Structure 1
């Protein structure tokens, strides 16, 4: 789950919990909102941990890259086209 999806779940859960005052038979929207907010917060924490670990494993080459100069020879004829 990405950061955007986590924030979306947090927002929807907060709306269901704090902003709506609707009663639906068999469904407690407050509980659903709290569950969505918990899932969003957990996803945000896991995503943050994943990205912080991924960045710390980046390796940097310490030796410079070797460059070679390529020159075209003009004294050799091109190969025949078949």
Structure 2
């Protein structure tokens, strides 16, 4: 999804919630707008958390022992 889709949901939701005065039988457009706005904000927040989670450094060290076996160790540091 991403920032674009979340922003789109926020904009369309706010237009429905605040600017549309038409009525549709059985549908509360104001409530649909607020729900779309909330979902858009959640999508933006989840996108930000997902993209920032992958940051950090990773180092891999391979140790060769005298008997010929190898040990691989991995270290991650989050920024």
The alpha carbon displacement at 1:59 in A equals 3.2
* Alpha-carbon distance in 2 for matches of 1:59, 1:13: 41
**TM-score, structure 1 length as denominator?**
0.67
Larger relative contact order (Cα-Cα within 8 Å, sequence gap ≥ 6): 1
1:60-79 matches, cutoff 5 A = none
Moved over 6 A (4+): none
Decide which structure has greater strand share: 2
1:1-82 correspondence runs (5 A): 1-56=1-56, 58-59=57-58
Counterparts of 1:30 and 1:7 in 2: how far apart (Å)? Answer: 18
Q: 1:46 offset after TM fit, Å?
A: 0.3
Q: Secondary structure at the match of 2:54?
A: helix
Give unmatched runs, 5+ long, in structure 2.
61-79
Structure 2-normalised TM-score? Answer: 0.70
